[in-house]
Structure formats: C-alpha cells, structure tokens
Structure 1
Amino acid sequence: MNPCVHTPGGTSVDDVTGWMLLSVVSATAASGLTGGTVAEPLCWLVVITACAMLLGRPAIRWLMARTQTPQAATGAATVVIIGCAAVTQAMGIEASFGALVGGLLVRTAGAEAKRGLAPLRSVTLSVLAPLYFAEAGLRMDLSALGTPVVAVAALCALAVATVGKFTGALLGARVARLDRRAGLVLGAGMNARGVIQIIVAGIGLRLGVLNTASYTIVVLVAIGTSLMAPPVLRRAVRRIEANDEERARLQRGKDLAGVS
C-alpha cells in the first residue's frame, strides 16, 4: 500500500491533536499555572468533542442540506465557524480551536453543500490567507538572527524538527512493515509544518509565551520545512513503484478531472 495515500489523514490527526494540546496550554498560560486551570480546559475539551460528534454533525448536515445557493452555503458555514470560535473562547479555550471544530463539522456536510462553498474557499485562499501570512511576517524580526545565539538556536531548531519527523516516520514505517523508502516519503510529507506552526507561534507571541526572537525562529522553521518538503517528497516518491491501488486512485483522479 502506498503511504502517500494515507499521509493527509495522518497529518489531520496530528493537527487536531496538536490543536487540542495547544488549547490546554493557552488556557493554562492565560489563567496561571495551577492544577485547577489545567483540569478545567481538559474537561471543556471533552465536552466540546462529545457535543461536536453527537450533536454538531447531524445539526450541521441538516443545516447545510437546506442551503440552496452558494451564498446561503457560504453564510451558513461562516456563521457556524465563527459561532464555534466564540463558544470555545467563552469557555476559556483558544478561539482558533473552535474555528477548527466548526470547519471539520462543515466538512462533514454532503458533497452538494461542499460544492456551494467554492466561493468561500476562493476568497479564503486568494485574500484572507495571504493577508494573514503577511501579518505574521510583519511580526518577525530577522535582525535577531544577527545575534549568534539566536542564529545557532534557529539552526538547531530546524535540525531537531527535521530529524525528529524523519526518525518518527522511519520508526513508524518499520512498525507498519514498510520499507525505508516508504518511511522517507512519510517523513517528507509530515515534515512540513507550514500553516499550523505559524498560527501556534502567533498565539504563543500573543500570550507572552514566546518573545520576538523565539517567534522568528518558529516561523523560520515552519517556512524552511515547508520549502524543503516538495523537492524531498518528489525525490522520495520517484523511488517507489506504484501498486494497483495507487494506479486506481490516480486513474480516478484523472477521470474526475476530465468530468469537471
């Protein structure tokens, strides 16, 4: 089985787990380091997860099924995402985690409803995302890299982050009885931090957990690993022969592209 087929799913689980841990850490940092403040966000996470799975999914499917136009689907999805963010923030959990939950709920809607979200997706990718990354870049202080300690720390962080991901992927491949080449593909795909790490760094800077130099290092690691991923992934994939499952998946993609 080609591991590339399953990498996105594994990344999603990794991201959701990271967001849950981030919510606990941010709530703790915002209210003080006591046992009670750690237990409270953990309890809220359980409540949010249970409500999203048991009540949220059927409610969102019912709502999105009744949107007849792209404008209605976009409006409903926006209200759901902002509403979830507001609820989690009121609970003392990071608002970004609520937005993530809202997005995952909207994603469970039917294919017809998701097609109606194309305008929202276009605006997000072409306008909102570039503005967010521009704002994140303005917070960086590249002059901090002129300090030897900061420069060495940035290189060490990049090395540890990359080696850690590849080591974990190779060990996971060994446990799953995949060969070393498949482990390299998994490591290349999982190594890119990108959006999630930049968001986490921004939250850490806002909470005072990170200073400007630390924030700059984290963002540089995110950028470096993201730029590193495509060439390493292409080189690693070339060494793996496509099996029947992978060829069937590629053919389905070509057929769908031909239909659209």
Structure 2
Amino acid sequence: MNTHQTTSLLLALAAIVLLARVLGALFRRFNQPAVIGEVLAGIALGPTLFHGAVSDALFPGGIRPLLSALAAVGVVLFMFIVGLEWDAAMIRGSGSLAATVSFSSILLPFGLGAVLALYLTDDYGTGDETAFMLFMGIAMSITAFPVLARILTDRGMTRSPLGVVALACASIDDVLAWSLLAAVVAISGSAGADQWHILLAVPYLLGMLFVVRPLLARFVARRPGLKLTPTVLASVLVGLLLSATATEWVGLHYIFGAFLFGAILPRTGSEQLRTDVHDRIGQLSGTLLLPVFFLVAGLQVDLSGLDADGLGTLGLILLVAVGGKFTGAFLAARLNRMPVRQSAALATLMNTRGLTELIVLNVGLQLGFLGQELYSLMVVMAVVTTAMAGPLLSWLIGRPTDDGRPEPARAPEQAAARVETAAQSPVS
C-alpha cells in the first residue's frame, strides 16, 4: 500500500463508522433496530445516490479489495457470535410448538420463493435454474435470530411465553436455513475443479461435533473459573479462523465454519467466559467491521435505475417474503392453539431478516446465484421486513413501557386476560 491508498482507506473507515453510528442511533430513537440505519448508511454511500459520485470519491477502486477483506472478517466474527448465542436448550424447552412453527415458516416461503424464481428466471436468472430456484427459496425463508432477540430484549419480552417461543423458533430456523444454504452451495458446483473437496465436509462436521466439542468441554471442566486472558482470546480466534478456513476450502463457505465453531463452544461451566468473548469480539465487529460489511453490501445495491417493472418485481418479492413467512408461522401457531394476536405477533417476529439476510444475499451474489439487479431488490426486502416488525408488534400487543414491559393494546380487560392466560398454556 502506498501513502495515497493508506490515506484513502483510513478516511473511508472513519466515514463508514461515523455514518453507521449516526444513522444507527437515529433509527434507535424511532424504536427501530440499529441495523436498519447501518444498512441504509451502506446504501447511501453506494451508487444509488448521485450516480455513484460519493462512492467513487470516498472509496476508489484501489481500496475496495481491502474493504472487502475487512468485511469478510466482520462476517466471520458475526457468524461466530450467532453460533455462540445459539442454544439447543431453548428448543428443548418449547415443546412441539417451536418445531411446528419453524418448519412451517420455512417450508411455505421456500416453496413460494422457488415458484417466484421460476417466474423471474427469464429476466433475472443466472444460468443455473435449479440453484437459482433453491437459493430464492432460502432467501425467502430467513429469520434473523440476532435482530429478533434484540427486539425482544428492548421490549422486555425475552422471558415471556411469546418471547421464549419466538427465540426457539428463530434458533431452529437458523440451523435449518444454514443447512439448506450449505446444501445448495455444495450441489451447485461453486468450488469448480476442486468440487471433490465437498466430500470432506462430512468428516469435518463429525470431527467438530464428536472430537473438538468434547475436548473443549473437558478442557473447560478442568479449569473452573477460566478467564478471558489474551492467550485464551487468541486461542478462540485461531480456532474460529481455522474452522472458517476449513469450510471455505472444502467448497462450502466460511460463514458455516464460523457459525459451527461458536455453536460447539461449551455452554456449561463457561458462562462468564462466553459472555466476555461475546462482548470483546462483538464490540470490535459491531463498531468497525460490520459497518464495513454494510458498505461493501451497499456498493452492490444500485436503485438509481429502478423503473415500473422493477417496482412490480419488488412488490412480488415483498408479497412472497412477507406473506409466505407470516402465513406459515401464523397457521402453525393457530394449529397449536395459540391465540390470534399472539400468533400474529409470532409471525411478525419471524419476518425479521436483518443482517442475516444480507449475509445470505452476499453469498448468493458471490457464488453467482443472484445478479446485481435482483440483489438490490432483495436488499430492499430485507430492510422492509425488518423495519416493519416493531410497528406491527406495537399494534398487535402494545408498545413497550418505560420499564421495558409491553403496554397492553387497547382492548377490554377481560379479553386481554384471556389472551395472556391462553398464551401461556402451549409453552408450558
């Protein structure tokens, strides 16, 4: 790197972090997830506004590969955090309700997404029709566990019956969606001449689950009160990077290795250590690296030429994404005798896509499943479905009060009491 590149990179990073923080804080004031403002910051710095004049001035071609590299590291750390937060105990504690809602809220939008892909293939197809259909189905099926958890935390609902079920459903959705995406990547032949490497994914997975995980559990059990020293943090980072490298090399994608390494870290006896790891890595990722990812994602979004046909396609995408996810979750919840308002609130929460959707879309763009025009429309869908969750929840179950508890919606007291009582029964 010469002096000009170094200066341009540092200036670009400063602009990215500042704009992401400002817009993130602004949207938080309107009871929206900060990720909405951060994504819009990336889009605003991209080619959508002023025909790319801002992006060309701030992010010259010489530094864009460097930004993409930083963005990849940010995604690795984020997926590790997602895996670290994933807990199978939430699934076991929610009974059959969470499994039913999760499968329904994935199968219906997946099927509708595949049908939509058939309709769009002439205008937006990328050559491999099967991969395009499967990927569109997956993109419509995503639920963002971190954003959903943040919404529930902000509303003081994480321990409520609805919150417990929603978190369990999102956990199952995460595993199913990542598994489906891994399968699509594996069968698409994206690894080229080294496609045979995909055969090594099975021994890698078995080794992580039945060798590495027990060894880590034994290590932690023999060291009660283990603290996050620089050596421990370095060891975690090395393991994370090696796991991400392994899945990238076998022809999957580095996001799967990062997620799996976080998921296999011991849960018992290391609660404080996991919290410290989460906080230490999460702050670096959330403050610097993820805003860079939003910028890199935003540079691929170009809505400046959006016309009537594009708006029509966007409308279809939103209809399939929102309608498929909502209907699948709502019907499954009702079949499990969850009250109407609670079922609708659960279906609304399952529609949050956020950063998880952006990561999936970027995988699709990198591997050629999506073209840039359709990618731009799908990013808009991710933003809209995430932004609508808060207002719809307030309309369905009331606004959060100062103490973090939801304020009851305007309804007769007896009806509200019946809803609350019924909401608890299917979870217990």
TM-score, scaled to structure 2: 0.51
Deviation, structure 1 residue 31: 4.1
Q: 1:107 to 1:149 in 2, by over 3 A?
A: farther
Deviation, structure 1 residue 56: 2.9
Q: What's 2:296 paired with?
A: 135
1:77 to 220, 236, 243: 236
2:256 to 78, 81, 97: 97
Give the gaps of 5 or more residues in structure 1: 247-260
1:8 to 149, 167, 175: 167
Residue 310 of structure 2 aligns to a residue whose secondary structure is helix
- Name the stretch that deviates more: 218-227 or 112-121: 112-121
- AA paired with 1:18? A
1:126 to 284, 287, 290: 287
Indicate whether 1:190 and 2:350 are aligned: yes
Q: What's 1:199 paired with?
A: 359
- AA paired with 2:318? L
Give the gaps of 5 or more residues in structure 2: 1-159, 399-408, 410-415
Indicate whether 1:179 and 2:339 are aligned: yes
Match runs of 1:25-174 below 5 Å: 25-31=184-190, 41=198, 46-62=202-218, 68-106=227-265, 108=267, 110-117=270-277, 118-145=279-306, 147-174=307-334
- AA paired with 2:179? M
Indicate whether 1:216 and 2:376 are aligned: yes
Identity of aligned residues (%): 28
Deviation, structure 1 residue 203: 1.0
Deviation, structure 1 residue 8: 1.6
Are the equivalent residues in 1 in contact too, given 2:197–2:249 (CA < 8 A)? no
- AA paired with 2:248? Q
Deviation, structure 1 residue 54: 2.0
- Name the stretch that deviates more: 62-71 or 190-199: 62-71
Deviation, structure 1 residue 192: 0.8
Report the Cα distance in structure 2 between the residues aligned to 1:171 and 1:40, rounded to whole angstroms: 41
Residue 265 of structure 2 aligns to a residue whose secondary structure is helix
Deviation, structure 1 residue 77: 2.3
- 1:141-181 deviation line (CA, Å, top 9, x unaligned): 11242x32222111110121111111011111122111111
Residue 69 of structure 1 aligns to a residue whose secondary structure is coil
Deviation, structure 1 residue 44: 5.3
Report the Cα distance in structure 1 between the residues aligned to 2:346 and 2:201, rounded to whole angstroms: 29
Are the equivalent residues in 1 in contact too, given 2:216–2:266 (CA < 8 A)? no
Paired residues in the alignment total 240
- AA paired with 1:122? Q
Residue 388 of structure 2 aligns to a residue whose secondary structure is helix
Report the Cα distance in structure 1 between the residues aligned to 2:370 and 2:321, rounded to whole angstroms: 18
- Name the stretch that deviates more: 2-11 or 215-224: 2-11
Please tell me the root mean square deviation across aligned C-alpha atoms, in Å. Answer: 2.8
Q: What's 1:252 paired with?
A: none
- 1:77-96 deviation line (CA, Å, top 9, x unaligned): 22222111111122221211
Deviation, structure 1 residue 244: 11
Q: Give the greater-gyration-radius structure (CA).
A: 2
